[in-house]
């Protein structure tokens, strides 16, 4: 397992500052966000960030694009990031994967026709990314078609493309047994993981990662069981504090070593 940071954790910092923080914290890489640090279509900036990441001895773990499938389907490409710009930017950045969102509504609020169109579009972009040597990875999140264990697994099956995977993160509103069940159910289709710990009240009450040691030890045991290499990247830190990020980085590194 590799350790990293999701850059949008600190949207207020410049990419150069993010690189310095991650390097100082002795993590291995950065998932660069397309909404702030490496904007879609800004190819020169993508090249610059790729170089500064490499110069610091770090890797680009993924490109967090915020691309949502039905933007282009229902509203036209101007309503969200255009896929060609996302794909070109990820290529210039040297990102091995592109994180995307499965729509803008939850599985219970999406009609069968809408779901079918999103499935078709996902299959198309998964193939286009495959030709560039880049995987497509779903955001595992509420208000999308990955808002439950069952819907996420079904969506991956419906698309049925070998280049489509899913990120994973603990659902805030569910108990530990449900979270573990979903992680086990998705198995090798889980690519990278966003790592955080929240209070029972959920968003935005993030806590220090060390307070979530018990559940995360169980998650990591499942993730280790198939031997797949994955990035475990910190996302959300208590009080948006750099000092708390440093603490979380130390905690995460100790878990991965363990």
CATH number for 198: 3.20.20.150
pLDDT number for residue 71? 59
What tens digit of pLDDT does each residue of 199-256 get?
A: 988 888 999 999 999 999 999 999 999 999 999 999 999 999 999 999 999 999 999 9
Query: In which domain, by residue range, is 100 found?
Result: 2-257
Confidence grade of residue 70 (pLDDT, cut at 50, 70, 90): low
pLDDT at 202: 85
Statement: residue 73 has pLDDT above 60: no
Confidence at residue 173, expressed as pLDDT on a 0 to 100 scale: 83
Taking Cα atoms as reference points, which of 53, 11, 51 lies closest to residue 34?
A: 11
Question: Residue 76: which pLDDT band, with cuts at 50, 70 and 90?
Answer: very low
Q: Identify the H or E element spanning 165.
A: strand 164-168
Mean pLDDT of 170-179: 94
- Tokens 């694009």 belong to residue: 65
Among 69-78, 147-156, 205-214, the minimum mean pLDDT is found in 69-78
The percentage of residues in the chain with a pLDDT greater than 70, rounded to a whole number, is 96
**pLDDT for res 228:** 94
pLDDT at residue 79 tops 80? no
Number of domains in the chain: 1
Residues 6+ apart with CB under 8 A from 76: none
Tokens matching residue 237: 């830190």
Helical segments of the chain, H only: 15-24, 43-55, 69-70, 83-93, 112-130, 149-159, 176-186, 213-224, 242-257
Could you tell me what percent of the chain has a pLDDT over 90? 89
Mean of per-residue pLDDT scores for the chain: 94
- Strands 231-234 vs 97-101: parallel, antiparallel or unpaired: unpaired
Distance CA 106, CA 141 (A): 9
Work out the average pLDDT over 60-69. Answer: 93
pLDDT at residue 74, rounded to an integer:
45
pLDDT band at residue 166 using 50, 70 and 90 as cut-offs: very high
Contacts 24+ apart (CB under 8 A), 42-50: 42/89, 43/88, 43/89, 43/92, 46/89, 46/90, 46/92, 46/93, 47/92, 47/93, 48/15, 49/15, 49/93, 50/92, 50/93, 50/94
Contact predicate 63/99, CB 8 Å: yes
Instruction: Determine the Cα–Cα distance for residues 122 and 72; give it in Å rounded to an integer.
Output: 11
> Mean pLDDT, to the nearest integer, of 69-92?
73
Least confident range of 47-51, 77-81, 130-134: 77-81
Q: Locate tokens 């990035």: which residue? A: 231
Q: What's the sign of the alpha-carbon dihedral 252, 201, 170, 215?
A: positive
Q: Containing H/E element for 30?
A: strand 29-33
The pLDDT-based confidence of 80 (bands split at 50, 70, 90) is low
Distance CA 235, CA 99 (A): 14
Cβ atoms within 10 Å of 111's Cβ, excluding its own: 9
Is the model's pLDDT at 78 over the cut of 50? Answer: no
Q: Tell me: pLDDT of 183 over 60.
A: yes
Phi/psi for 180 (5° steps) reads -65, -40
**CA 258 – CA 192 distance, rounded (Å):** 19
pLDDT at 105 over 60: yes
Write down the pTM of the prediction.
Answer: 0.94
């Amino acid at each position: 397992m590799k350790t990293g940071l999701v850059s949008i954790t600190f949207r207020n910092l410049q990419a150069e500052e993010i690189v310095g923080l991650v390097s100082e914290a002795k993590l291995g890489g950065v998932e660069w966000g397309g909404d702030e640090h490496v904007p879609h279509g800004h190819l020169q900036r993508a090249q610059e960030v790729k170089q500064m990441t490499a110069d610091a001895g770090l890797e680009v773990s993924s490109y967090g694009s915020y691309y949502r499938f039905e933007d282009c389907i229902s509203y036209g490409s101007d309503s969200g990031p255009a896929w060609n710009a996302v794909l070109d930017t990820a290529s210039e950045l040297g990102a091995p994967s592109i994180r995307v969102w499965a729509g803008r509504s939850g599985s219970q609020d999406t009609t069968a026709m809408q779901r079918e169109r999103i499935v078709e579009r996902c299959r198309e972009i998964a193939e286009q990314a495959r030709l560039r040597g880049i995987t497509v990875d779903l955001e595992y999140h509420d208000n999308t078609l990955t808002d439950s264990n069952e819907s996420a697994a079904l969506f991956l099956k419906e698309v049925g493309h070998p280049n489509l995977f899913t990120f994973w993160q603990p659902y805030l509103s569910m108990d530990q047994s449900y979270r573990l069940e979903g992680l086990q159910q998705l198995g090798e289709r889980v690519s990278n993981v966003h790592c955080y710990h929240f209070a029972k009240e959920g968003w935005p009450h993030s806590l220090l990662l060390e307070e979530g040691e018990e559940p995360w030890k169980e998650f990591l045991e499942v993730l280790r069981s198939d031997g797949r290499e994955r990035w475990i990247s910190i996302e959300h830190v208590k009080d948006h504090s750099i000092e708390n990020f440093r603490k979380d980085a130390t905690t995460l590194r100790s878990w991965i070593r363990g």
